[in-house]
């Protein structure tokens, strides 16, 4: 297999693009794919202050590296969830810190157990809730809190094409209109003074992000989260991978087709509540927001 551009030995085949690339041209191609998504969906500019949600995994570290190489002002945020199985959280944090030092960027670190005296798994057990649910509420709160306090213009995450297509499939199967209305690659600020949210790697696959990290020598955590085992989300990914193998480009056509017609699913405007949480003062539909209720802050 030879590189479609220079005819040297290719290191990756991209059948969905009818393309094969050598290491140098693949590296350039990845930068261009991210830049295309940023420009096409008008995510942010070189003047924007960007907060990258970092997990220590391949997607978020690849994203932070690419944004840095494209000369964007991108800081990182790592949230230590206190997952002790296989030293998952501590190893992820160490890899994130090491990478931040490598690129010379600021990494904000939040340790949930230090702040609340309890890890995410322990809180889930005490509340008799699923760990992923507690994790989601907590991470969203601290991402938003960090963005507000640091005057960031946008929060970016490492969600890739596989992630978005799998989420879309699950939401379609169960007709979850609230989620179908919010699956775009870019979400503008809901009101002045707030921040946007974006997914710059939306045109890149999980495989491509992995190869990018290997070529750049980026050390990332290769363990899966212990609580993701058996997740329905992984089943949707497996189904889509089978479809993609027989019909290259199907995942991209599926997701980008949805993005093109997303307004169909916006039955009502997504708005931000006018009221605020009486505990932490963030916008909330209830007197006490879901985060403060979860962590029993209303009882202190």
Q: How many degrees, rounded to 5, is the angle at CA 169 between CA 159 and CA 130?
A: 70
Q: How far apart are CA 80 and CA 70, in angstroms?
A: 28
pTM of the model: 0.95
Confidence of residue 31 (pLDDT cuts 50, 70, 90): very high
Q: How far apart are CA 151 and CA 50, in angstroms?
A: 9
Confidence of residue 270 (pLDDT cuts 50, 70, 90): low
Q: Supply the pLDDT for residue 158.
A: 98
Q: With 0-12 CB in 10 A as exposed, 13-18 as middle and 19+ as buried, what is 135?
A: buried
pLDDT in tens, 146-167: 999 999 999 999 999 999 999 9
Phi, psi (deg, nearest 5) at residue 102: -60, -40
Percent of the chain with pLDDT over 70: 97
CB 259 within 8 A of CB 185: yes
Q: Supply the pLDDT for residue 296.
A: 92
53 three-state secondary structure = strand
Whole-number mean pLDDT of the chain? 95
Strand partners of residue 38: none
Classify each residue of 138-168 as buried b or exposed e, where b means 16 or more C-beta atoms within 10 Å of its C-beta. Answer: bbebbbbebbeeeebbbbbbbbbbbbbbbbb
pLDDT in tens, 287-299: 999 999 999 997 6
Confidence of residue 185 (pLDDT cuts 50, 70, 90): very high
């Amino acid at each position: 297999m030879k590189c479609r551009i220079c005819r040297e030995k290719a290191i990756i085949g991209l059948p969905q693009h009818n393309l094969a690339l050598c290491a140098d041209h693949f590296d350039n191609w990845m930068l261009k794919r991210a830049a295309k998504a940023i420009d096409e969906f008008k995510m942010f500019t070189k003047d924007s202050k960007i907060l990258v949600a970092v997990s220590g995994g391949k997607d978020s570290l690849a994203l932070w590296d690419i944004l840095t190489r494209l000369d964007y002002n991108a800081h990182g945020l790592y949230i230590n969830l206190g997952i002790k199985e296989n030293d998952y959280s501590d190893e992820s944090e160490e890899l994130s810190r090491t990478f931040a030092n490598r690129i010379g960027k600021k990494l904000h670190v939040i340790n949930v157990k230090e702040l609340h005296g309890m890890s995410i798994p322990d809180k889930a057990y005490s509340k008799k809730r699923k760990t992923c649910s507690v994790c989601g509420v907590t991470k969203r709160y601290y991402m938003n809190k960090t963005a507000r306090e640091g005057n960031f213009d946008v929060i970016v995450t490492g969600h890739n094409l596989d992630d978005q297509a799998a989420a879309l499939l699950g939401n379609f199967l169960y007709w979850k209109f609230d989620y179908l209305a919010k699956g775009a690659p870019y979400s503008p600020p809901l009101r002045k003074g707030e921040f946007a949210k974006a997914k710059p790697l939306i045109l890149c696959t999980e495989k491509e992000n992995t190869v990018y990290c290997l070529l750049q020598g980026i050390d990332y955590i290769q363990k899966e989260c212990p609580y993701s085992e058996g997740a329905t989300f992984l089943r949707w990914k497996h189904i889509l991978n089978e479809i993609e193998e027989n019909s290259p480009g199907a995942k991209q056509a599926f997701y980008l087709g949805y993005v093109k017609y997303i307004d169909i699913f916006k039955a009502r405007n997504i708005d931000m509540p006018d009221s605020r949480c009486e505990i932490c003062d963030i916008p909330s539909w209830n007197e006490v927001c879901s985060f403060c209720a979860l962590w029993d802050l209303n009882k202190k």
